Structure 1
Amino acid sequence: MAALGVAVLAVSTSAILVRWSDAPAVVLAFYRVLLTTLLISPFLLTRHRGDLGAFRRRDLLVAVLTGAALAVHFAAYFESLAWTSVAASVTLVQAQPLFVAVGAALFLRERIGPRTVAGIAIAIAGMAAMSAGEFLAGAAVEGSHPLYGNALAVLGAVMAAVYVLVGRSLRQRVALVPYVLVVYTACTLTLFLIAIAQDLPLAGYGRREWFLFLALAVGPGLFGHTVVNWALGHVDSAVVSVSLLGEPIGATILALVLLAEAPGATTVAGGVVVLAGIYLTSAARA
């Protein structure tokens, strides 16, 4: 539980670090995942070298597809922060449990109960209220386009759900470190190809940008999502899902203190409704 608390605090810093950076979103995502991969590689080489043998060809393909979905998640999420408020972006990205529930019902034939349906409906109503409020009042981002930013955040949530759904069965057969390493490597290569396709510069950044790249890898990457994956082996998944709802709250508070970005009343109210819907959905599927 202590590690989970550290992880939630770490992932809450992600949006702030992205906002502080002047690098393109895809470049930020690329270096975050690349540096995180390099940081965990020694653990594989020293303690988990033999675990790579658990990968069959089909498993390897699944892991690569999972990494590609994670790449789109990061790219969409980071880009959304340029167009909408931190509060809206982080809350909408955190809505991935809703899409996991829908995807599990459609593709894994899992039953959706009335509480899950109610949670999804509540969260969607909150998303609509949040987006409408930001569109009418204007998000706290200069030159913002909140509807576009919110749509990117929702895309990020959908891709995070794909990442969870596709990788869930594979994690039952493959240990954490080799799984994360293969997925992160595939994610890094996908982001590299996207950056090349968009003709984005991967070099020429100053010390400040490299510090932010490293901070994203160490904070949200290593002490955030990687620790969350570790905590899943020791804490009930429902507890982890509910704990992650602290990220939008933490990110919003940090944005208020460090960026002087105060969310509007409609954004706050809509965000609370979204979080309530996510909580109900997560609790119903526990």
Structure 2
Amino acid sequence: MNNELKVPVIIPLTIGIIAISFSSIFVKWSEAPVSVQGMYRLLFTLLLMLPFVWKQFQLLKKISFKDAALLLLSGTFLALHFLFWMGSLKLTTVASSTILLSLQPVFVMIGAFIVFKEQTSKAAIIGMLIAITGAIMIGWGDIGISAQHIKGDLLSILGTVVVAVHMLIGQKLLKSIPATLYSFTVFLSAVIVFFVYNAFLNIPMTGYPGKEWGIFLLLAIIPTVFGHVLFNWLLKYVTAATISMAILGEPVGASLLAYLLIGETLTVTQVIGGAIVLTGLYYFLQNTRKQKRNKPPAPIKKPVTVVPIVKKG
């Protein structure tokens, strides 16, 4: 399998960042319950993906029970992420919600070290800390200004934790499952979780005006297909921590869009913070690439120790 990306990684990362930056705007525009938004967002995404993934369905027969359980678990955590984070947008500003979501690399890096023993260079950690500092500055003026904002902040933090778990599970599963098939099965699992949630709480799943259906479709096409699906595909080539770090660009794009489209103001502190985020992001990605380039390939030494043992008989 060729794990070498054919284009510079910054290109798909930039497309993904711009796409997911629109997510919070669409959520703000919608008046439907967030669980309904999340369900139809992923359902429409499944329909869009179907022509590209149906030929891979035969591979589902080869998936072990353990991997199937992990796929369901990953989908459950993705549904929880949408439920918590999209819910936070109803209670706090776009800047505050996306800022706290951008702390995701902290949880991913800790989880990757515990689960995969994944090492991160000191330079990359410095870049991450710089970016997180800038991210905090972006929403500093809005965070915790009222009880409602505090509740929204807490929901965003919960959404950050569960999406970090979702990404770490994905990093493991994508070693043996094609990216498109992984995304499809995980989204399907999340849709089922949302359906059960809505049915259990008697949340209406039909009867919404045309405007809402248009928003559901936009949520599927822009931030999901060109955002989350793209990032899932990129996990084949870069680590979950790198994807999480790239998503730090979302607060910058989302805050700018919120200013232009829904009238949420930006302070000087938020503008400076955005510049710091991008600086830290660039520094992190550069040092992550250098770390991979300088790391000697593990299999080189293996034949040296194995060959004498094989020839012994």
Whether the 8 Å CA contact 1:91–1:274 is kept in 2: the answer is: no
Q: Which residue of 1 aligns with 2:169?
A: 166
Whether the 8 Å CA contact 1:100–1:162 is kept in 2: the answer is: yes
Q: Which residue of 2 aligns with 1:187?
A: 190
Relative to structure 1, is the Cα distance of residues 239 and 168 closer, same or farther in structure 2, using a 3 angstrom cutoff? closer
Q: Greater shift after overlay, 112-121 or 181-190?
A: 112-121
Q: Distance in 2 between matches of 1:261 and 1:245?
A: 19
Q: Distance in 2 between matches of 1:12 and 1:189?
A: 26
Q: Which residue of 2 aligns with 1:69?
A: 77
Q: Which residue of 2 aligns with 1:26?
A: 35
Which of 15, 38, 44 is the equivalent residue of 1:35? 44
**Gap runs ≥5 in structure 1:** none
Secondary structure of 1:134's counterpart equals coil
Cα displacement string for residues 11-57 of structure 1 (whole angstroms, at most 9, x for unaligned residues): 21111100000011111111111111122122222x32322233111
Relative to structure 1, is the Cα distance of residues 226 and 63 closer, same or farther in structure 2, using a 3 angstrom cutoff? same
Q: Which residue of 2 aligns with 1:207?
A: 210
Which of 8, 16, 24 is the equivalent residue of 1:15? 24
Pick 1 or 2: higher relative contact order, CA cutoff 8 A, min separation 6.
Answer: 1
Q: Distance in 2 between matches of 1:49 and 1:242?
A: 32
- 1:112, CA displacement in angstroms? 5.3
Secondary structure of 2:142's counterpart equals helix
Cα displacement string for residues 215-273 of structure 1 (whole angstroms, at most 9, x for unaligned residues): 1011111222212333455x655875554433222211111111111134445555665
Cα displacement string for residues 146-169 of structure 1 (whole angstroms, at most 9, x for unaligned residues): 222222222212111101111211
Q: Which residue of 1 aligns with 2:4?
A: none
One-letter identity of the residue aligned with 1:8: I
Relative to structure 1, is the Cα distance of residues 79 and 32 closer, same or farther in structure 2, using a 3 angstrom cutoff? same
Whether the 8 Å CA contact 1:7–1:224 is kept in 2: the answer is: yes
Relative to structure 1, is the Cα distance of residues 118 and 109 closer, same or farther in structure 2, using a 3 angstrom cutoff? same
Q: Greater shift after overlay, 191-200 or 163-172?
A: 191-200
Question: What TM-score results when the alignment is normalised by the length of structure 1?
Answer: 0.83
Relative to structure 1, is the Cα distance of residues 109 and 12 closer, same or farther in structure 2, using a 3 angstrom cutoff? same
Question: What TM-score results when the alignment is normalised by the length of structure 2?
Answer: 0.77
Q: Percent identity?
A: 34
Alignment of 1:259 onto 2:267: no
Bigger CA radius of gyration = 2
Q: Which residue of 2 aligns with 1:100?
A: 108
**Gap runs ≥5 in structure 2:** 1-6, 290-313
Q: Distance in 1 between matches of 2:128 and 2:17?
A: 23
Map 1:1-286; keep pairs closer than 5 Å: 2-45=11-54, 47-111=55-119, 113-115=121-123, 118=126, 133-135=141-143, 138=145, 145-233=148-236, 236=238, 243-269=246-272
RMSD, aligned CA? 3.0
